[in-house]
Chains A and B, each alone.
Chain A
Amino acid sequence: MDFSLTPDQELLRETARKVLERECPPALVRAHIDDAAAYAPLWRHLSEFTPLGAGPATDLCLFLAETGYAAAPGPFLATALFAALTGGDGNAIGTVALVDDPTMRFVLEKDRVERIAFVTPGPGLAVVDADAVTARFVATVDFSRRLFEVEVPQLDARPLAPAEYAHWRDRAHACMAAEMVGTARRIFDMSLSYAKARKQFDVPIGSFQAIQHKLADMSLALERATAAVQYAAMTVDAGDRDRTRAGHVAKAAAGEAARRILKDGIQIHGGIGYTWEHDLHLFLRRATADEYLLGTRGWHLDQLAAALIDG
């Protein structure tokens, strides 16, 4: 398997980095705490990239790592999940509602999309106008995403081939993991910079072995999760038979990386990281909440165990 990026992929990643660095500073994420409309100027730029949702998972996941890094508000991930499920070109702004699914009780960004794709048990698929669906906003620890509890309307669902739905789930797990690893990388980078800059006992705290070993273990968790996401995306694109396990591995590895990095990251920051004024909590909140979207680490490990032991 070849992990090297093509020149187009390098360019895509660079472009995503530049756009998000310029258009999604922490100040925007902070403004979004009290003003849901704060995402609008960013969305004018991100909406140009929604066709990625209908393209290869490898490209999409590179982009999602950057939206996660910036903790970008808005319906980019929701639209990508919608496009893959409904087979559109990625231009329709949408979200996905999984009915009676333990891994996805709430619906992402319902107030910012045109269409909602409902997956009913069976599975079946029905796509409806978002305006026709009643929903209540659900406050969470994460200010950057908006979650909703929706009332499931009368649906005229068409059957969804189980294999097709399974393939979508594999892709969705990789996508969710990609964003989550991106956010974990942001917290890691902030912690590493802080360890180099912050002095105590007249030396940078990053010269202490206790801090160095924490950061080494954090970076291992981060790098293996990053690789697991890219591998999962490759298996999805190739239709490889390892793709279901790879999707579970990716989200489970992302969960491990995020949890370790957010806990040790705030520890390295010390008191300053615990303040409202410092930007760290914007990312801690996102990484914490992401664990509970599309399956926790424990849920994904249980799926792997079933495949390994009962399969």
Chain B
Amino acid sequence: MQLAWSPEDEAFRVELIEFLDAHTPEQMHTGYDFQDVHDEHDLVPPWLRQWQATLFDHGWMVPGYPPELGGRNCSPVQTLIYLETLASRRLLRSGHFPGYAIVAPSLLEFGNEAQKQLVPAAIRGDTIWCIGMSEPDAGSDLAGLQTRAELRDDHFVVNGQKVWTSYAMIAQKCFCYVRTDPTLPKHKGISLLILDVDSPGIDIRPLRHINGTAGFAEVFFTDVVVPRENLVGGLNGGWAITQGSLAHERAGLWVEGVARFEQTVEGLVQLARAQGRADDPIVRRKIAEGYELAASLRALGYKGFASFAQGSSAPEHSYMKMAMSEASKAAFELGMEIAGPLAPVTDPRLSAATSRFVYGFFMSFANTIAGGSSEIQRNIIAQRVLGLPRA
């Protein structure tokens, strides 16, 4: 156990910082927050798409990948350094995560040669992807999905509905899980198809969040024709890919999550000072609890990384999503308590210092649901990490 990385790894950090100093777009530093969009047609602004392409072209988009995939073949430790450096500077890599974070690794693992040709554009962000997973009757019980794809000679015909589909309104392609055999047990009759979003029969209706903006959509499929060669992996082999997709999503997210949570705790300190609550013993203790949680979760994330880098499974990472989403909800609530009468105020004349807490509080409701609810995370920890029997 030791604190410092090797000199080569620290040199990697210096090289990255030099690149970021030279290339980071100005807009990134003007309070741009990816989650704070007010126009659903401007979910991913042009400068942010350009930034993703720049990262790709310089081998800084997914540094663990080879140069043709936007990387530089760096080691797992260097990837971690990359993620922590971006997070500490509050930098986004991309305005749309499904392509580089889920589609690319899934196609590299399960796709055929033709499908792998789609990967560079997915990582560079030239193609925007959405992921068709949840349905009205298949949320936590994802394997219960009902969107039907019937194989007829050389093509599938798709009918059904997806929901909570992030980026559907701006995507070109959809990574869509469908039921190809309703006679098999539910996990065994699912396949993965690649759909062109402009195919006839696809209807996209934006869904507004509780904050009033539309980041996701309902997607309806009516007799959508999909060529058979768009099947990823084997027929009825989709479930294994869903498991991989979500693992890819979680593997690196904790670094950013911890950094955001730490930044929220720092914000609480400033707010307590500004609101004259810095001497309140209850406020002080609650802020310290937030710090203690952030620091111990950061340590837990790194501890899990050590197992991961040695090729072992990293049960530590199963805890991170649940713990951070619950913790940040509590931290935003504390911010509102400190803000007092200003907590619910959104009037910009009065709320400049406080609105991020009520806004974050509302956003935090999503984080304990999306990507696997906290309750499902606890089931996973209990059954897969602790080995408890299923009910």
Contact = CB atoms under 8 A, between A and B. Distances in A.
B296 A225 contact: yes
Which of B302, B381, B388 neighbours the largest number of chain A CB atoms within 10 Å of its CB?
B388
A196 B389 CA distance: 7
A208 B306 CA distance: 32
A254 B254 CA distance: 22
B291 interface: yes
B386 interface: yes
Nearest to A232: B299
Interface stretch (B100-108, B232-240, B280-288): B280-288
A225 B323 CA distance: 13
A1 B322 CA distance: 23
Interface string B290-329: 0111011101101101110110000110010011000000
Contacts, number: 159
B230 to A, nearest CB: 39
Contact of B379 (A209, A226, A252): A209
Contacts of A192: 386, 388
A220 B321 CA distance: 11
B67 to A, nearest CB: 27
A216 B288 contact: no
Nearest to A212: B382
A4 B1 contact: yes
A246 B296 CA distance: 9
Contact of A252 (B292, B310, B383): B292
A203 B265 CA distance: 43
Contacts of A213: 375, 378-379, 382
A1 B300 contact: no
A24 interface: no
Nearest to B319: A220
B3 interface: yes
A224 interface: yes
A220 B3 contact: no
B323 A220 contact: yes
Contacts of A208: 391
Contacts of B389: 196, 203-204, 206-207
Contacts of A223: 300, 303, 315-316, 319
Contacts of A209: 379, 391
Interface in A4-37: 4-6, 9
Given A192-B386, A252-B292, A302 B284 contact: yes
A305 B278 CA distance: 9
Which of A226, A302, A304 neighbours the largest number of chain B CB atoms within 10 Å of its CB?
A304
Q: Is the interface of B mostly helix, strand, loop or mixed?
A: helix
Interface in B1-44: 1-5
Which of B316, B322, B378, B379 neighbours the largest number of chain A CB atoms within 10 Å of its CB?
B378
Contacts of B109: none
Interface residues on A, range: 35 or more
B299 A301 contact: no
Contacts of A139: none
A3 interface: yes
B378 A216 contact: yes
B385 interface: yes
A132 interface: no
Interface in A238-294: 238, 240, 245-246, 248-249, 252-253, 256
Contact of A253 (B265, B285, B296, B305): B296
A233 B385 contact: no
Which 10 A-B pairs give the minimum distances between C-beta atoms?
A: A212-B382, A227-B299, A305-B284, A3-B306, A301-B288, A231-B299, A216-B378, A224-B296, A228-B296, A227-B300
Given A230-B303, A238-B4, 18 more contacts: A1-B5, A3-B1, A3-B302, A3-B305, A58-B1, A196-B387, A196-B389, A211-B388, A216-B382, A224-B299, A230-B299, A233-B1, A245-B291, A246-B295, A249-B291, A252-B288, A304-B291, A308-B291
Interface of B: 1-5, 77, 265, 269, 272-273, 278, 284-285, 287-289, 291-293, 295-297, 299-300, 302-303, 305-307, 309-310, 315-316, 319, 322-323, 375, 377-379, 381-383, 385-391
